[in-house]
Structure 1
């Protein structure tokens, strides 16, 4: 991966292929390699004629990991994505985010709609607005001495995943505890670009894809039968929906 500077932080990114650019923004406790390469997204998008751009969000992967809670505001993380587009000299791109990455994508699209040709929110539906629940059980799980010491079901899920991805647990705890600015319905209703929302039917984190898409003028929704938050990301139905959306979004 290559490195560029966003503000005072070093952010890792990778760019592959040629064609129309799509920027991929991964989820919490993941990284570009796990979220997009390991799930087959990169190969799929390259074969469809896309230029694929991925970054490791601050606090994740090979990017800087500030031990400051305020550094993980989603608007700052959206700023990293914007700065990457500037660094690469790209006036605009399609942008797809998963889970936390979908939230970052939303803030990027709301603040800079001219830079986002289309937006894809994966793994986060109406809970983008309503909230995904109390973060403290996840914070405690990340701060626990071991996975065995964690009893909360959702906390165990994220702690197990964070260990699998080799993440910095302290940075993740700060990221999870950081202030979460609201995504308001008025801003979503003002989005001028096509937006696709894709969530699993068994996803306890995301909330309804349909209810979020209804708030967006050019919103479309797909629900993946039987899929949850962790296994929806690599689902064939998700991939097919995205390819069809990108082909028709103009």
Structure 2
């Protein structure tokens, strides 16, 4: 995979803490999820260095050459390469939605290096397994309408990205091939889960938190796409990373 685009932000008065890797959601990018929402400013204001990548096919990053480059482990490995280039021996991670899904892979991709993690908007089941990949390809390549409503919704989201649509379809295919299954958490500290009170996509996440050994679950106002722009999300992230 070609190198992913990433921005680094350095505070005026650095704290004695590792850099924070911010991982955005599907169909978005680092600027929309983290810079424009004020999260980067909030973190640098408390002395944290921040690394903001764009995932494959998103923002300024190149599209994956194949679905294999867009599997969750492959994307996590590409994020570790960004951390390596930044000289980050250890790091904290914050991910939202797809970003949380990818952040889940980071303890395995970078053993012993992750300190704290905040996983926002994480679905306890892999939503992309319900996508009809053949129908999605036809929708992107030929403009064909999808019979399945969920595949149609994903197709509409992908096609709205214009020239990036084909790359995003490959991302869906790769993520579908490596569905989220939970399991043990291999980092030093249990993650903090943050969900919107009206977010149907995260229904059942409490069971995953319990299975990990009473990982903390924080509920904030908003639906799935409202949480990242809200002040309660920023407060929850700052609180979790300051412990």
Match of 2:217 among 218, 221, 237: 221
Cα deviation, 1:184-216, whole Å, max 9, x if unaligned, reads 42x23x443231111112223233342222122
User: Which sits farther off after the overlay, 160-169 or 202-211?
Assistant: 160-169
Distance 2:139 2:196 in 1: 25
Cα deviation, 1:2-60, whole Å, max 9, x if unaligned, reads xxxxxx40311000123331001111111111111122211111212211111011121
Give the direction of change, closer, same or farther, for the CA distance of 1:40–1:144 in structure 2 (3 Å limit). Answer: farther
Where in structure 2 are the equivalents of 1:93-132 lying within 5 Å? 93-127=91-125, 131-132=126-127
- 2:166 alignment partner in structure 1: 170
Answer yes or no: is the 8 Å Cα contact 1:125–1:212 preserved in 2. no
Distance 2:163 2:197 in 1: 28
- 1:198 alignment partner in structure 2: 194
Answer yes or no: is the 8 Å Cα contact 1:199–1:208 preserved in 2. no
- How far does residue 156 in structure 1 lie from its aligned partner after superposition? 6.0
Answer yes or no: is the 8 Å Cα contact 1:142–1:172 preserved in 2. no
SS at match of 2:117: strand
- 1:4 alignment partner in structure 2: none
Answer yes or no: is the 8 Å Cα contact 1:191–1:216 preserved in 2. no
SS at match of 2:225: coil
SS at match of 2:3: strand
Where in structure 2 are the equivalents of 1:70-109 lying within 5 Å? 70-109=68-107
Residue 143 (1) aligns with residue 146 (2): no
Distance 1:50 1:164 in 2: 34
- 2:8 alignment partner in structure 1: 15
Give the direction of change, closer, same or farther, for the CA distance of 1:173–1:162 in structure 2 (3 Å limit). Answer: closer
TM-score after normalising by structure 2: 0.84
Residue 211 (1) aligns with residue 204 (2): no
SS at match of 2:34: helix
- How far does residue 164 in structure 1 lie from its aligned partner after superposition? 6.2
Answer yes or no: is the 8 Å Cα contact 1:113–1:193 preserved in 2. no
Unaligned runs of 5+ in 1: 1-7
- 2:47 alignment partner in structure 1: 49
SS at match of 1:77: helix
Q: Supply the RMSD in Å over aligned alpha carbons.
A: 2.7
- How far does residue 170 in structure 1 lie from its aligned partner after superposition? 0.6
- How far does residue 139 in structure 1 lie from its aligned partner after superposition? 3.1
TM-score after normalising by structure 1: 0.81
- How far does residue 90 in structure 1 lie from its aligned partner after superposition? 0.9
Unaligned runs of 5+ in 2: none
Distance 1:32 1:167 in 2: 18
Distance 1:168 1:217 in 2: 40
